Structure 1
Amino acid sequence: MRPIIGITSYVLPATWGVWTDLPSALVPHDYTEAIRLAGGRAVILPPDDHDPDVLDRLDGLLLAGGPDLQPSLYGQDHGAHTVTDPERDTAELLLLRAALDRDLPVLGVCRGMQMLAVAAGGTLHQHLPDVLGHEKHRPGPGIYGEQHATFVPGSRIAGLMGPDTTINCFHHQGIDGAGSLTVTGRASDGLPEAVEDPSHRFVLGVQWHPEVGRDRRLFGALVVAASKETR
């Protein structure tokens, strides 16, 4: 049986067929297809703050991208450029903390990496142009910013990426302090682009969007870590 990977989802108005602006739980197909191509079975998880019992049926957890985290989660006031989804924050933090307690393999993408950092006691920059003086991490609507990252030798992400240092970003927030996580990758401007938790079997966060290229290195590593044969 393929490892079952739960993917956290957006709740947004969507339109198809005769239905217009219908509130929908969804994720971009790139995420589910990346898991399938890596040998896993993708299951979409709508926000649910009742309990984390769904983890009993999962072999791994993928924290997908999405809106900004509530600044109150890391001790800041709400900035002018910050757009949040409190319901999703609450549900994902519940899932993440329970997954970490169970040592379930976790991969965080973009917002998901920031969620990992905040859960580990870290903090975020709420608007990178104010800090870095440029918008290379989010050049424009729907446009990914191509960057070249530097990875810490011997880290999990360095082993997965090999000589390929090209990453494609779309975010206006970023990690300031990583809390108890280890920063293992940075962009040329010094912004953290990868974090890991060596105290767990597999906890990896990346600030870029590997699902767009359906990167089998990262999703394959998650699926392998989630496989019952590797436990």
Structure 2
Amino acid sequence: MHSSPRSAPHLALRSPALEAHRTRRALRSPLQFSRLSFPLTWQWPGTTSDCAGFVPAMNNRPLILITSGAQVSGAEFADVSISLSNAYPRAVVAAGGVPVVAACLPEARYAAEAVVRCDGVLLTGGEDIQPELHSPDAPEKLRATVRVVEPERDVFELQCLREVFRHRKPLFAICRGHQLLNVAFGGTLIVDLPTQRPDGLQHRRMDRKDEPVHDIALVRGSRLARLLRAARVGVNSTHHQAVDRVAGLFAVAARSADGVVEALELAPEHAGALPWLLSVQFHPERLAPRHPRFRALFRDFVRACAK
């Protein structure tokens, strides 16, 4: 796993229910609990082939911190609850990792410890980033297009990014995560594509979120091109904002036909900043079940987290 400037505390996944189960089993049988194996398999929805095979013991698989959003009216108490598509943790499990879903709490110490204890970080999609972080002078017409913002999530994920680069953890950023990564290092965003790029492609296709709706051109030699083994691929598209000015730390790895930045990687002169980084505007976790080439992105990410 990855080392850090500080001695990282060992992560012990302890559960009263699990401890009770171990105790009960010890009373019933002389066999050691650690010798048990659980024949869990994962199959991508809509497919017939098993992609991950036998799931080994949890402590042999890298822990992937997955950021989440907030749901205003949760199922249990109708209060603020964690909101996250299961497509993200499913993709991580299928690639051989163990998903650890993080609540967006603004305390810096929590974010720091969460990153240190995990082997890699996955920044996920969600609502818009507050415009004060990337377009403070945007006119009211553009501000009116901004969808629900989550300031606590912005703060938490920015703190996570600081720790990711401090401790050199592998990072996979998707959709909103892709945009936030660029903003965190001084880049800017197109606040609303329909308003600012009216002649461009229709990028918010929520009606077809699980299938390709437009092509992107991949930069030759980029990590994305190597993993997808293609120069051009079709992707899904569910966003109305996009990367505008690219932060100096990054290089463009893919664009759509109308010029929208669809992927970022570390610029060659900054390649040593992290052991692994990929940032994409589209949603590979939703494409992977029926479009196998996108599974390679998660497999390579999890593999990097296991080193």
Q: 1:185 aligns with which of 228, 241, 254?
A: 254
What amino acid does structure 2 have at the position aligned with 1:107?
A: F
> Residue in 2 aligned with 1:33?
90
Q: 2:145 aligns with which of 56, 75, 81?
A: 81
Between 1 and 2, higher relative CO (CA 8 Å, sep ≥ 6) is seen in 1
CA contact (8 A) 2:73 2:81 kept: yes
Q: 1:161 aligns with which of 206, 223, 228?
A: 228
TM-score (norm 2): 0.69
> Residue in 1 aligned with 2:276?
202
> Residue in 2 aligned with 1:176?
244
Deviation sequence 1:79-110 (CA, Å, 0-9, x none): 11112111100010000111012110000000
Q: 1:32: how far off? A: 0.4
> Number of residues paired by the alignment?
225
CA contact (8 A) 2:208 2:236 kept: no
Matched, 1:99 2:167: no
Extract unaligned runs of 5+ from structure 1. Answer: none
User: Whole-Å Cα distance in 2 between the matches of residues 132 and 222 of structure 1?
Assistant: 33
Matched, 1:217 2:296: yes
Q: 1:74: how far off? A: 2.0
Larger Rg: 2
User: Whole-Å Cα distance in 1 between the matches of residues 77 and 159 of structure 2?
Assistant: 31
Q: Percent identity?
A: 36
Q: 2:99 aligns with which of 42, 48, 53?
A: 42
User: Whole-Å Cα distance in 2 between the matches of residues 24 and 135 of structure 1?
Assistant: 34
Q: 1:135: how far off? A: 5.6
Please state whether the residue corresponding to 1:6 is helix, strand or coil.
strand
CA contact (8 A) 1:26 1:44 kept: no
User: Whole-Å Cα distance in 2 between the matches of residues 90 and 20 of structure 1?
Assistant: 25
* RMSD (Å), alpha carbons: 1.7
Q: 1:143: how far off? A: 3.6
Q: Hey, which of these two has a bigger chunk of strand by percent?
A: 1
Matched, 1:4 2:63: yes
Q: Hey, which of these two has a bigger chunk of helix by percent?
A: 2
TM-score (norm 1): 0.91
CA contact (8 A) 2:74 2:81 kept: no
